[in-house]
Structure 1
Amino acid sequence: MPARITTVGFDADDTLWHNERVFRLTQERFAALLADHAEPEHLAARLLAAERRNLGHYGYGIKGFTLSMIETAIEVTNGRVPAPVIGDLLAAGREMLAHPIELLPHARAAVETLAGSHRVVLITKGDLLDQERKLAQSGLGDLFDGVEIVSDKTADRYAEIFARLGDGPARGVMVGNSMKSDVLPMIAAGGWGVHVPHDLVWDLEHAEAPEDGERFCQLDSLEGLGALVDRLG
């Protein structure tokens, strides 16, 4: 018999609340600002390349995204980007950091339901101050038994968190919208990965579903999460 599930981990961005659409809106603004220097598709590719190479320096989140936009603007203008454009990009980053939180459907009910019967933990990556702000605005903070804001999500990191805050990954479930960050590394750690897709996915978070689906589940929304966890044990 499989071990009984005692601990449920939740991703935050685009699992409990909207996030990627704020980045998409800012990227559209970025394209408009640089329209005289690069086509939108070319600019998006250059920005994605900058984000990819900067992850190791700036990590995940809005600040790294803003710096990558500025770097890309300098590149595509051959160093001649007007100072007002840089100012507009900095202002866009600040606006992103102040953007109000909007919970996804069934997010509160899912966390409240599981908090009554399991340990629930928030595990998110990104900028510490921004993630703390979003959690505070969400009104969900008091429901979690632990909050982990990490630089990246790996099998070793999940194993450590679920061992420290739960009864190990074999008795844990990780719920999230990212196959790459929330599902695959949790399964590799020996736990259950539950994929709840979001309409928008950052290009660097794309990954294929696991070929071995023994510890993999997918839901259309968080509405059925409580029943799923009950079925898992």
Structure 2
Amino acid sequence: MAHPVTTLAFDADDTLWHNERHFRMSEERFAELLKDYAEQDHLAERLLASEKKNVGHYGFGVKGFVLSMIETAIEVTDERVPASVIKELIACGQELLTYPIELMPGAGDVVAQMAGQYKLIVVTKGDLLDQERKLAQSGLGELFDGVEIVSDKTPDIYRRLFVKWSNGSEGAMMIGNSMKSDVIPAIEAGAWGVYVPSEITWALEHADAPKESAKFREIPSLVELPALLESLS
């Protein structure tokens, strides 16, 4: 009997390589820069609220994050934030666009192993140039058959991509650390959804696991992916 999965779609940030830890460091820097100008209570919540509001305007990634930090700084200081602080926040964003890529445990070996057996694609959100940079620096780029950098991850987008790169959703599997973006909409599109928890996940990516779905799986790390695929054969 043919294997039910022919195409593996991987999320990028915090699935193939570390990413969110760098944003958390920038958030700590943000709080430090504003300590003399605004109350620290609820500062993180105010920033998250700005990010949530601005996703629809700026999309996902570093640019939207930096603009949200600047907007929040202006709001919480009643427009008294110095230009020097704004300059530092912009510098934080520039650093986020240059940090070295550190692969998640086992990511390189697993992707290389799967490349000979399945069609592989990357499906990721974020800034186009930044995601292209990270994929190039990861050393994994040549192992993938396709790369899709999308504005959002919805069932309709997954259906379209799985028709393009696979024999439809039925033969596709999406693997990622976001229940909200990687797992649930992929399953709703008819594909398999595999949740791989990361040490830090952005608050806006949390959602309840679709445990009732026969196509939902969870593994502790990418190292377990080959065994999972073997169990489905």
Give the alignment's TM-score, normalised by structure 1.
0.97
Amino acid at match of 1:169: S
Q: Displacement, 1:199?
A: 1.2
SS at match of 1:40: coil
Aligned position for 1:148: 148
Secondary structure at the residue paired with 2:42? helix
Matched, 1:83 2:78: no
Query: Within 5 A, what are the aligned runs for 1:1-233?
Result: 4-233=4-233
Residue 2 of structure 1: how far off its partner (Å): 8.8
- Conserved 8 A contact 1:3-1:170: no
Equivalent position amino acid for 1:52 in 2: K
Q: Contact 2:37/2:81 (CA < 8 Å) preserved in 1?
A: no
Counterpart AA for 2:56: G
Query: Scaled by the length of structure 2, what TM-score is found?
Result: 0.97
Q: Give 1:72 shift.
A: 0.3
SS in 1 for 2:200: coil
Question: What is the CA–CA distance in structure 2 between the aligned matches of 1:41 and 1:187, rounded to whole Å?
Answer: 39
1-side partners of 2:38 and 2:29: how far apart? 13
Residue by residue, what CA displacement relative to the aligned partner does 1:171-199 show, whole Å, maximum 9, x if unpaired?
11000000000000010001100000001
Distance 1:66 1:19, change over 3 A: same
2:232 & 2:58 partners in 1: Cα distance? 38
Q: Deviations 1:43-74 (Å, cap 9, x if unpaired)?
A: 11110110011001100000100000000000
Measure the CA separation in 1 of the matches of 2:161 and 2:230: 22
The Cα of 1:39 is off from its aligned counterpart by 3.7
Which residue identity is paired with 1:177?
A: N
AA aligned to 1:55 is V
Q: What is the aligned length?
A: 233
How far apart, in 1, do the equivalents of 2:137 and 2:49 lie?
A: 32
Structure 1: gaps of 5 or more residues: none
Check conservation: 1:166, 1:172, Cα contact below 8 A: yes
Provide the rounded CA distance (Å) in 1 between the counterparts of 2:189 and 2:2: 15
Structure 2 Cα separation of the partners of residues 173 and 2 of structure 1:
15
Contact persistence 1:54–1:64 (CA under 8 A): yes
Q: Identical aligned pairs, as a percentage?
A: 60
* Distance in 2 of aligned mates of 1:180 and 1:205: 5
CA RMSD of aligned residues (A): 1.2
How far is 1:41 from its partner? 4.2
Q: C-alpha distance in 2, partners of 1:196/1:39?
A: 36
After superposition, give the CA deviation of every residue in 1:179-227 in whole Å (9 maximum; x if it has no partner): 0000000100011000000010101001010141311000000111012
* Aligned-pair CA distance for 1:113: 1.1
2:211 and 2:105 map into 1 onto residues whose CA distance is 29
Query: C-alpha deviations, 1:96-118, integer Å up to 9, x for none?
Result: 10111100100011111111100
